[in-house]
Structure 1
Amino acid sequence: MERRTRTYRGAVGLLLAGGVLLTGCSGGGTSDRSAAESGKRAPAPAPAATGGAPSTGGAAEEGAKAADRAEDSEGLREAAPPDYLSTFALDVDTASYGYARRTLADGRLPGPETVRPEEFVNSFRQGYHRPAGNGFTVSVDGARAGEESGGWSLVRVGLATKAAPAGAERPPAALTFVVDVSGSMASSDRLGLVKTSLGILADELRDDDSVSLVTFSDEARTVLPMTRLKDHRGKIREAVDSMEPADSTNVGAGVRRGYEEAVDGHRKGANNRVVLLSDALANTGETDADAILERIDSARRDYGITLFGVGVGSDYGDAFMEQLTNKGDGHTTYIADEEQARKVFVDQLPAHVELTAREAKAQVAFDPKTVEKFKLIGYEDRKVADDDFRNDRVDGGEIGPGHTVTALYAVRLRDGASGHVATATVRWLDPKTRAPHERTGSVETGAIDGELWGGSSTRLQVTAVAAYFAGRLRGDGLPGAPGLGELATKADELARKTEDDSVAKLATAIADADRLKGGHADTGTGEGEGEMD
């Protein structure tokens, strides 16, 4: 799409997101009809206690811009009156967390610029209620962050789509694989892992699905034109096995050729995707993500072909891959071994191939009568101008079946505040009809009154640990954040309670980070660190 306000690798923005938004939301949430059902484009909910309207320009817009420029003593942006709105494109990327785990396992700390807190949070199951049909549900909860936080609470806004039933029929897929065969891919955990992954996928796809294969090094070439799986699985495996590492990395040439093949093999009514598998270390040809995608813009617009990025390798061009897929209306993930490849290409295949929603955005309106301050954790490169929430030409997120999206906010309530805290709206377009839909919900102070570590849900605690971990890796002063050693202990306890192997791996990653930092340089919330003023 045409424009989104982005600040790649901006200063930190903060914490947890309250569950607000849709049908079935807790904490006194309410639900409105969708825009398509009502035939009207109702305004986004205003802060209920004031009866005011969302920012539409003028002084409010200037206040928002001023707040964006202003930073507190810890380098954390915060919203300032009169702008009590938070608007962002939905994001289901998880590559940042996957790459951080790989880097820590290799004995290195990830660069702070590669750590995106929303991708850490979105890497874990949340247990949200899911809708019976298309669209989203929104869950709302939260908790007080503890005495060390300086009076901050965590509010979680959770959105979920309906999972594809096991064995359910789906439209056929037409997938164009664009594989990096440059010299940097010449190892078992790169090109070798890509070959394994495509072999797994060839077994998983259905007879009526189609695939094509493009490889690139200094130049791009078509190894296999669009081919139906039926009666051709052996031919496809031979094409995959024939790939060998070559020279430099011309990602631009590979993506352009990939989209040409995707257009040539486009199937009406199918899920048409370009899947880029690479370490994203572009060093030849066009190396600017926007410029690369601009050259195939008509293919994306006219044919609705989206880009799914799969990252590999211990040295990985994280920022470049993320920019490519953001511009390509897609998302990214990262795989380090065959277990993760099976998770992506078998367990999560419908979510990566199908679309439930296009141009999905969320807008949260905080109530200035109860809320003194709020901060969104992460989403720096997914920010959307408040005025553009209902501008469907402005880029949003593409969401598949079974996806969940969590936004975490740090919220400081006014002394003695009681009642309405926030109203949130999610907006998306139907992927087939392009008709807009919205759902709305709200959260009250009673829903965020419990203690985080004392009695809140285990899934909220996992979410908090993931966000705090990302903050520690980035050097952020998140309110009430335990040190890495304490976080590792909490994650280990949560892994036992949830019996969730992914949480156990989170505990291992935090322990690895604690050892690399010396086990003493990050022991807890220092004096004044809980304040974000």
Structure 2
Amino acid sequence: MKTKLFCLIFSALTLYACAQSKSVTITGTVLEEGTQVPLAGVSIFVKNTKKGTVTDAKGHYSLQAKTDEKLTFSFVGYQSAERSIGKDSVIHISLKASHEMLQEAVVITGRAAPNAKMQTFSTQPLAAPMPGGLYDAQLNTEEYKSLNENIFHDAKKSPLTTFSIDVDRAAYSNVRRMLNLGQFPQRDMVRIEEMINYFDYDYPQPQGEHPVAIHTEVSDSPWNKGLKLVQIGLQAKTIPTNNLPASNLVFLVDVSGSMNWANKLPLVKEAFKLLVDQLRPHDRVAIVVYAGAAGTVLPSTPGNQTATIKDALDKLSAGGSTAGGEGIKLAYQIAQEHFIKGGNNRVILASDGDFNVGVSSEGELQQIVEEKRKSGIYLSVLGFGMGNYKDNKMETLADKGNGNYAYIDNLQEAQKVFVHEFGGTLFTVAKDVKLQLEFNPKFVKGYRLIGYENRMLKNEEFHDDKKDAGEMGSGHTVTALYELIPAGAESAYLPKTDDLKYQKTTESATGSSSDELLTVKLRYKQPDSELSRLFEVAVRDTSIPFNSTSDHFRFAAAVAEWGLLLRNSEFKGAAGYEQVIQLAQGALAKDPEGYRAEFVRLVKLAQSLGKQPKEAVSRKNE
């Protein structure tokens, strides 16, 4: 009898305990205390477990936990917080900014705090942690191309300027990665045009025969008093997803030993799964991997066989050296075997760029890609990881492969690239797009293109159809900013020189009487053509007050000003963090995914890092 009674009591207690600790889905939003700005990238863990997630661009999160467990919330530069779950299935929280904690993470340790791992977590551990679980600056072998900033040019002596457009966005997410780790980005990481073009400016759609429209705006420079700022905005035609041509894709995945970190191969798998979910029955996917050698792990498969494709991705594991050149050749071969005429034929490379076996130099890899692009197969590049990241190689491959380049620092960035910008990422509507501007010396004394240093062209290359340039995908926007010295104004940026004695020319009738400030010329090719088309737009001297400009103009100016600060540019003038924040907050406009709000948070983070005491900085560099 006692035994039965004991069993009944034990069973009742067990049932009660189970009822008290049932599994639930917890959702919520994490905001910055005071400003109520959503915080993206906040690490949320079930306490004393490896289960966790990160907030998206809107500060939202969702994860599975039990009612008797607790959640911890942590983010670089903010005080950590803890909440019991209990009966709550929705937990909203505000984190308080803490400059002291940020400086402790950066200055004392010389690296990010333990709770600042740059990883995207699932409800299962993604992979072994990074060595020591931390980013260590002393182990940093990352490589970036050196950038020499564009200077001011005399509009009388050099009235023409020519460059290739750039839709890459890698620099912005890479800078974000460094700031979230508590590290101030090095100068050459900061490619200002990529930071500006990370954001969508939603210019009006093309209405005429061309797949690209030009939009312009002129106002005052907010950081250089007396100078002007000109915005050149390009909008590519948006093709509805249902009307997009069929895709023939080859996922080229680096599975070398250097990819065995949580923010590398595991994140690659999850990113590609997001893309797989967007595919249709008439699309096709193959998977090629490379380490010491290259091989096919999934033959070309219809896009609606998602379970088969995802299963192949799940089985990938990392190990060995990196023979990137061989992988690229095999991927192009498979793409060629399944080539879809009139379709989107593309290799998508996912790697940290640390090629070290066989064809591995930047020049050799460039030659392979330049040869292969003649076949009509494009190459897009996705960068992952840190410490050994080779941005220089990744950027070159994308530029020469008629593709685009993104850096994936978390799953939310993968969602941006493969879900929100699906058409622009994969479907080209205009290739080899070049811009050439001619300035009217009547109104312009000097000019400078902000950014695009890696995309400058010789003026004669504007007419050369053999010269490679950038591609625009469905719905893509491209924004370029020029800073102008008005005629009659004096500026230290344009040193005075004597007038030429033998090269004097009379102003043309157009130059002397026209009210045109400049003319924008654009060349592009249809995706299946090798002959370019030309059209142009004249911009009149109709400057408006800065506060009357569009939200897009003011926000692009804020991003550019921030880039000047991060680079410590000689042209930054009176630029300042507070002004950047003010401009951006006044130009958030429609921000459905929270990208612009996240920008404000990153500016504040950079401002905090820039205020480290001198003695603390020296300790960091020891």
Q: Identify whether the pair has TM-score above 0.5, normalized to the shorter chain.
A: yes
Deviations 1:252-273 (A, max 9, x none): 2222222122222222222100
**Structure-to-structure mapping, 1:65-214, within 5 angstroms:** 76=151, 78-79=153-154, 81-132=156-207, 134-146=210-222, 149-165=224-240, 167-214=241-288
Check the 8 A contact 1:150/1:479 in 2, yes or no.
Answer: no
Secondary structure of the structure 2 residue equivalent to 1:494: coil
1:491 to 564, 584, 595: 584
Query: Partner residue of 1:440?
Result: 536
Please report the RMSD computed on the Cα atoms of aligned residues, expressed in angstroms.
Answer: 2.3
2:355 to 265, 275, 282: 282
Deviations 1:354-410 (A, max 9, x none): 111111101000111211000001111111110110110011111111011111100
**Structure-to-structure mapping, 1:315-354, within 5 angstroms:** 315=387, 316-354=389-427
* Deviation (angstroms), 1:486: 3.3
Check the 8 A contact 1:429/1:437 in 2, yes or no.
Answer: yes
Check the 8 A contact 2:170/2:407 in 1, yes or no.
Answer: yes
Higher relative contact order (CA 8 A, sep 6+): 1
| Whole-angstrom CA distance in 2 between matches of 1:363 and 1:462 | 24
Change (3 A) 1:500 1:212: closer
Structure 1: any 5+ residue segments left out of the alignment? Answer: 1-6, 14-75, 522-533
1:374 to 425, 447, 451: 447
Query: Partner residue of 1:234?
Result: 307
Aligned-partner residue type, residue 528 of structure 2? K
Deviations 1:422-473 (A, max 9, x none): 0011110111244432221111221x242x2x32222111101111111111
Change (3 A) 1:226 1:409: same
Secondary structure of the structure 1 residue equivalent to 2:588: helix
Change (3 A) 1:469 1:477: same
Aligned-partner residue type, residue 363 of structure 2? D
Check the 8 A contact 1:96/1:318 in 2, yes or no.
Answer: no
Structure 2: any 5+ residue segments left out of the alignment? Answer: 1-143, 490-511, 615-622
| Whole-angstrom CA distance in 1 between matches of 2:440 and 2:462 | 18
Secondary structure of the structure 2 residue equivalent to 1:168: helix
Query: Partner residue of 2:338?
Result: 265
Check the 8 A contact 1:458/1:498 in 2, yes or no.
Answer: no
Query: Partner residue of 2:456?
Result: 383
Matched, 1:482 2:619: no
Matched, 1:12 2:157: no
**Structure-to-structure mapping, 1:494-513, within 5 angstroms:** 494-495=587-588, 501-513=594-606
Change (3 A) 1:299 1:319: closer
* Deviation (angstroms), 1:490: 3.3
Pair member with larger Rg:
2
Change (3 A) 1:136 1:299: same
* Deviation (angstroms), 1:496: 7.2
Aligned-partner residue type, residue 312 of structure 1? F
Secondary structure of the structure 2 residue equivalent to 1:475: coil
| Whole-angstrom CA distance in 2 between matches of 1:11 and 1:406 | 20
| Whole-angstrom CA distance in 2 between matches of 1:408 and 1:196 | 36
Query: Partner residue of 2:365?
Result: 292
* Deviation (angstroms), 1:123: 1.0
Aligned-partner residue type, residue 477 of structure 2? T
2:319 to 226, 232, 246: 246
2:289 to 215, 230, 236: 215
Check the 8 A contact 1:329/1:397 in 2, yes or no.
Answer: yes
Deviates more, 1:172-181 or 1:331-340: 331-340
**Structure-to-structure mapping, 1:23-38, within 5 angstroms:** none
* Deviation (angstroms), 1:77: 5.1
Check the 8 A contact 1:300/1:306 in 2, yes or no.
Answer: yes
The normalised TM-score by structure 2 is 0.68
The normalised TM-score by structure 1 is 0.79
Check the 8 A contact 2:445/2:485 in 1, yes or no.
Answer: yes
Check the 8 A contact 1:263/1:299 in 2, yes or no.
Answer: no
Query: Partner residue of 1:363?
Result: 436
Change (3 A) 1:421 1:80: closer
Change (3 A) 1:481 1:326: farther
Secondary structure of the structure 1 residue equivalent to 2:243: coil
Aligned-partner residue type, residue 576 of structure 2? G
Deviations 1:97-123 (A, max 9, x none): 111011111111112111111001111
Secondary structure of the structure 1 residue equivalent to 2:385: coil
1:308 to 369, 377, 380: 380
Aligned-partner residue type, residue 433 of structure 2? A
Aligned-partner residue type, residue 305 of structure 1? I
Aligned-partner residue type, residue 142 of structure 1? V
Check the 8 A contact 1:215/1:221 in 2, yes or no.
Answer: yes
Change (3 A) 1:365 1:218: same
Aligned-partner residue type, residue 461 of structure 2? D
Secondary structure of the structure 2 residue equivalent to 1:184: helix
* Deviation (angstroms), 1:134: 4.5
**Structure-to-structure mapping, 1:361-440, within 5 angstroms:** 361-415=434-488, 419-440=515-536
Report the count of equivalent residues.
Answer: 446
Check the 8 A contact 2:561/2:572 in 1, yes or no.
Answer: no
* Deviation (angstroms), 1:143: 1.0
Check the 8 A contact 1:79/1:373 in 2, yes or no.
Answer: yes
| Whole-angstrom CA distance in 1 between matches of 2:324 and 2:286 | 17
* Deviation (angstroms), 1:79: 4.7
Check the 8 A contact 1:90/1:397 in 2, yes or no.
Answer: yes
Aligned-partner residue type, residue 138 of structure 1? I
Change (3 A) 1:498 1:260: closer
Query: Partner residue of 2:89?
Result: none
Query: Partner residue of 1:470?
Result: 563
